[in-house]
Structure 1
Amino acid sequence: MRKEYDYLIVGSGLFGSVFAHEATKCGKKCLLIDKRSHPGGNVFCENIDGINVHQYGAHIFHTNDKQIWDYVNSFVEFNRYTNSPMANYKGQLYNLPFNMNTFYQLWGVKTPEEAKEKIQSQIDQAQITAPSNLQEQALSLVGSDIFEKLIKGYTEKQWGRPATELPAFIIKRLPIRFTYDNNYFNDKYQGIPIGGYNKLTDALLEGSEVRLDTDYFQDRNHWDNLADQVVFTGHIDQFYDYRFGRLEYRSLRFEHQVMDQENHQGNAVINYTEREVPYTRIIEHKHFEFGTQPKTVVTKEFPEDWTPEKEAYYPINDQRNNELFAKYKSLGQTQDNVIFGGRLATYQYYDMHQVIGAALKAVNVHFNPPIQPKSTI
């Protein structure tokens, strides 16, 4: 008996939305359900006083993949926004990423050679040859000044632990530029959708049925029976009833504030890198789209310990959690009627272009499976 839908897609974030769009193009009927009151997952924007407010933190699209860039621009035009964050350490401002502007602000050096000598002298003073934790790793890469002022407090807030208790692999490298270049990303393409990310997700979801405020796990059998195939973008450990235990995350809390002034901080993103300031950054949303509205909206971002009642933002990819996820992944590979995708189902932190690329790859594999060699038996 034919079911009502070809695909039940659990979660309307970028992975689910892209899959739904491509499946609909192939003539398939899709139903998306989402426990939130809005579609779009974490890229959702709320319009406040004419400003598109990124409700779940700053989302800045960047990629080197022209096909991905052309893909998203086929739904909505992107502007020329370039991410150039600042860091505030005890009232002093520094440019990010670490570049010649930063080094001049730190030490007054004006040439790359002077900056290299200063950094190397601090690395030599640290005398670390085999870093055993994040603090030692950072000191061995950039020295004490950059670590103490721009890395230590921010990272400890982000992960909720002292830098000496964090594994060294979290910082595999620290990009240092010996040019006066404040462009945070090296990617060729970068920008923000003109009119906000809702324009992108609304266009992707056109032609699909979407039901909000709907929790898949409250009536799982009902939803599974509506479609031939499930695309699942939620917590993979929850999908399997936490059979092997819970995967761990870090969470975030956001405080949004409308301010009766045209321009509060003069930049879209300012990081607060001292440990004593409880939030990691302040976002002023109007600057993402070069807004000139009479008011402004700012958001303070507070890292938090994760509990199941909170949103999961950053997977804790330590040995325990990676081994746990490997067990769930093995289970997932045995189910032909379920496609797992997105950051929660794959226990990975993704940039937006990576999520879209993964969804397009899943579509390609699913609708164009490789031809199996004929048996010679």
Structure 2
Amino acid sequence: MPHYDYLIVGSGLYGTTFAYKAKQAGKKVLVIEKRPHLGGNVYCESIEGINVHKYGAHIFHTNNKEVWDFVNSIVEFNRYTNCPVANYKGELYNLPFNMNTFNRMWPEVHTPIQAKKKIDDQRSEAVAALGGREPQNLAEQALCLVGKDIFYKLIKEYTEKQWGRSCKDLPTFIIKRLPVRMIFDNNYFNDCYQGIPIGGYNKLIEGLLEGVECKTGVNFFNSEYKDWKNYASKLVYTGALDEYFDYKLGKLDWRTVNFKTRVENTPNYQGNAVVNYTSHDELYTRVIEHKHFEMFGQEVYDCPKTVVSEEYSTEYEEGMEPYYPVNDDRNNALAKEYRKLAEKEEGVIFGGRLGQYRYFDMAPVIEQVLNIENI
């Protein structure tokens, strides 16, 4: 019977980066994945010659040069810069909130001084309406941060679609900070490094797992590997934290996302990779046009068709893919108790978004693994 140094459950970025480091250290590794493909949520599916982000848009960004150099040592990244657009009832606004947004919102606003005065005046109205008390919900918090015009057109209905709840029923901490830039800059991220792997994220996953034994279509809990000590010295677990403990303390809540993907018989459907739809007129939260992640300029038109995905936020139900932890008081307290149990599990490393019940961007997940000593 083969014996591995590490059995890794899940082939997302945490598991695959760990597998890469372990192999570099001369360890014997087995990666098992319940889906029929490797890569977790960064997996790309080729449709009409376009790398389609099957589980939603993934844009790599970081200020950590070590992480950037690491991923580029596996596969070269392109120059993609994330500049999403918001569509409110046909009105188009640049994101994040910047001088282009403010001029579109208020045509008389042309300078940062004018924009700041407009926002400050509306913020003051919202603060005064509270009568000296602190904001009690997301709606009040957002109004105090950016005022009524931005809130009602670009935040309120979009957020309600995301969370399936009224902004008045959502906690303030979800939106404690809103980026407001008094410059004409549509780059969503402030990070020094940003891009997409040339050839898609599958190239990154393939590079990380080169020479590593992998098995797909294997559910850890319904397989012989559940008795992992028969197969490996240590377990790296990146599945759902509560599922590992058979939900003994109760189930953690998640939000999830569904996608409706289609081919359009045009080379350029919306002119941008990401367009957010911020009103309730559309049930989806955003539309992704995948070719814009990797095709630029004339390349867009050399590919005669395009692929778009409508993204729908919904409550998680069994059998769905969990995406976002629900960071309310109940779930935060429950996750804390599960993490205490996890700390007591000898020989088990809990990693990634599911295994830690925390939302992470891609770069911090990789950084976590790179910082582990003595793998």
Aligned equivalent of 2:32: 33
Aligned equivalent of 1:374: none
Paired AA for residue 256 in structure 2: S
Aligned equivalent of 2:103: 104
Paired AA for residue 15 in structure 1: Y
C-alpha displacement at 1:337, in angstroms? 0.9
Residue aligned with 1:74, SS: helix
Paired AA for residue 115 in structure 2: A
- The change in CA–CA distance for 1:85 and 1:218 in structure 2 (over 3 A counts) is same
Q: Establish whether residue 167 from structure 1 lines up as the match of residue 166 from structure 2.
A: no
For 2:75 and 2:203, locate their aligned partners in 1 and report how far apart those are by CA, in whole Å. Answer: 6
Q: Establish whether residue 226 from structure 1 lines up as the match of residue 231 from structure 2.
A: yes
For 1:88 and 1:76, locate their aligned partners in 2 and report how far apart those are by CA, in whole Å. Answer: 34
Residue aligned with 1:210, SS: strand
Aligned equivalent of 2:11: 12
C-alpha contact 1:14 1:40 (8 A) present in aligned 2? yes
Identity, in percent, stands at: 57
For 1:172 and 1:123, locate their aligned partners in 2 and report how far apart those are by CA, in whole Å. Answer: 14
Please give the residue correspondences for 1:42-57 in structure 2 after superposition, counting only pairs within 5 Å: 42-57=41-56
What root-mean-square deviation, in Å, do the aligned CA atoms of Structure 1 and Structure 2 show? Answer: 1.1
Paired AA for residue 74 in structure 1: S
C-alpha displacement at 1:31, in angstroms? 0.4
C-alpha displacement at 1:207, in angstroms? 1.4
For 2:94 and 2:249, locate their aligned partners in 1 and report how far apart those are by CA, in whole Å. Answer: 44
C-alpha contact 1:343 1:349 (8 A) present in aligned 2? yes
Please give the residue correspondences for 1:144-155 in structure 2 after superposition, counting only pairs within 5 Å: 144-155=148-159
Paired AA for residue 327 in structure 1: E
Q: Deviations over 1:108-154 (max 9, x none)?
A: 11011111111111111222451100000000000000000000011
For 2:368 and 2:327, locate their aligned partners in 1 and report how far apart those are by CA, in whole Å. Answer: 19
Aligned equivalent of 2:20: 21
Q: Establish whether residue 349 from structure 1 lines up as the match of residue 359 from structure 2.
A: yes
C-alpha displacement at 1:336, in angstroms? 2.2
C-alpha contact 1:8 1:224 (8 A) present in aligned 2? no
Paired AA for residue 177 in structure 2: R
Q: Deviations over 1:23-63 (max 9, x none)?
A: 00111111000100100000000111110000011000000
C-alpha displacement at 1:361, in angstroms? 2.3
Q: Establish whether residue 280 from structure 1 lines up as the match of residue 285 from structure 2.
A: yes
C-alpha contact 2:89 2:281 (8 A) present in aligned 1? no
C-alpha contact 1:17 1:201 (8 A) present in aligned 2? yes
C-alpha displacement at 1:335, in angstroms? 1.7
C-alpha displacement at 1:320, in angstroms? 0.9
C-alpha contact 2:138 2:169 (8 A) present in aligned 1? yes
Please give the residue correspondences for 1:1-377 in structure 2 after superposition, counting only pairs within 5 Å: 4-108=3-107, 109-126=109-126, 127=128, 128=130, 129=132, 130-219=134-223, 220-290=225-295, 291-292=299-300, 293-362=303-372, 364=373, 366-367=374-375
For 1:360 and 1:246, locate their aligned partners in 2 and report how far apart those are by CA, in whole Å. Answer: 31
Residue aligned with 1:265, SS: coil
Paired AA for residue 342 in structure 1: G
C-alpha contact 1:134 1:163 (8 A) present in aligned 2? yes
Q: Deviations over 1:322-351 (max 9, x none)?
A: 111111111111122101100001001110
70-79 vs 216-225, greater mean Cα deviation: 216-225
Residue aligned with 2:123, SS: helix
For 1:26 and 1:295, locate their aligned partners in 2 and report how far apart those are by CA, in whole Å. Answer: 45
Aligned equivalent of 1:373: none
For 2:200 and 2:138, locate their aligned partners in 1 and report how far apart those are by CA, in whole Å. Answer: 36
For 1:206 and 1:221, locate their aligned partners in 2 and report how far apart those are by CA, in whole Å. Answer: 25
For 2:291 and 2:75, locate their aligned partners in 1 and report how far apart those are by CA, in whole Å. Answer: 18
For 2:72 and 2:320, locate their aligned partners in 1 and report how far apart those are by CA, in whole Å. Answer: 32
Paired AA for residue 85 in structure 1: P
Residue aligned with 2:283, SS: coil
C-alpha contact 1:87 1:93 (8 A) present in aligned 2? yes
Residue aligned with 2:221, SS: helix
Structure 2, unpaired ranges of 5+: none
For 2:209 and 2:267, locate their aligned partners in 1 and report how far apart those are by CA, in whole Å. Answer: 34
122-131 vs 28-37, greater mean Cα deviation: 122-131
C-alpha contact 1:285 1:297 (8 A) present in aligned 2? yes
Q: Deviations over 1:61-101 (max 9, x none)?
A: 00000000000000111111110000000011001000000
C-alpha displacement at 1:221, in angstroms? 3.8
For 1:200 and 1:57, locate their aligned partners in 2 and report how far apart those are by CA, in whole Å. Answer: 17
Residue aligned with 2:80, SS: coil
C-alpha contact 1:46 1:52 (8 A) present in aligned 2? yes
C-alpha contact 1:134 1:170 (8 A) present in aligned 2? yes
C-alpha displacement at 1:4, in angstroms? 1.6
For 2:241 and 2:66, locate their aligned partners in 1 and report how far apart those are by CA, in whole Å. Answer: 29
C-alpha displacement at 1:319, in angstroms? 1.2
Residue aligned with 2:101, SS: helix
Structure 1, unpaired ranges of 5+: 368-377
Aligned equivalent of 1:371: none
Paired AA for residue 120 in structure 1: D
